[in-house]
Amino acid sequence: MIADLDRATFSNIEQQSLEFVMHTMTPWAERWEASIESELLLDGDELEVEFDFANLMRGDAASRSSYYQSGIQNGWLTRNEARIAENLNPLDGLDEPLRPLNMVEEGFGGGTGRRCRAGAAARAGCNWTARRRSCTDRMTMGMTR
């Protein structure tokens, strides 16, 4: 690997660091792992040696932030899982995945006790299509759920 830094910027320095881990450190780590397992561990041991380069391969902050934001907003990653991946302590109440309101299936209730109105029916937990009449009646009467 040639480390020509004449026109270096933050982006390509970061990319160069990732390439160093992938192309230089990883092959050496694999050799060390194999050597440790064959020379230092007993044949019956169920231990496995592995160098963890996850923190070195994390990429830049903008990419990680975008990844976590996508996962949290789309419901496949909890907020605490993102915190743990960033070596932060988990916080109470962040273990449940978020559910995007525009992805709720038809017929799913889940009322929140908020007022139903045209623009906020989904946020209020009204199934606007199935309950259009009742939500409209409540809006005109000023009633809440």
pLDDT bin (cut points 50, 70, 90) of residue 126 is low
Phi, psi for residue 15 in degrees, rounded to 5:
-65, -40
pTM of the model: 0.48
Rounded CA-CA distance 62/129 in Å is 39
User: 63-83 burial, b for 16+ CB within 10 Å, e for fewer?
Assistant: eeeeebeebbeeeebbbbbbe
Number of CB atoms found within 10 A of residue 121's CB:
21
Cα(111)–Cα(94) distance, integer angstroms: 21
Query: What is the sign of the dihedral through the CA atoms of 26, 30, 35 and 37?
Result: positive
* 67-89 average pLDDT score: 93
Q: What is the pLDDT of residue 99?
A: 86
Place 30 in a pLDDT band, splitting at 50, 70 and 90: very high
Sign of CA dihedral 29, 30, 35, 41: positive
pLDDT band of residue 143 (cuts 50, 70, 90) is: very low
pLDDT at position 89, please?
A: 94
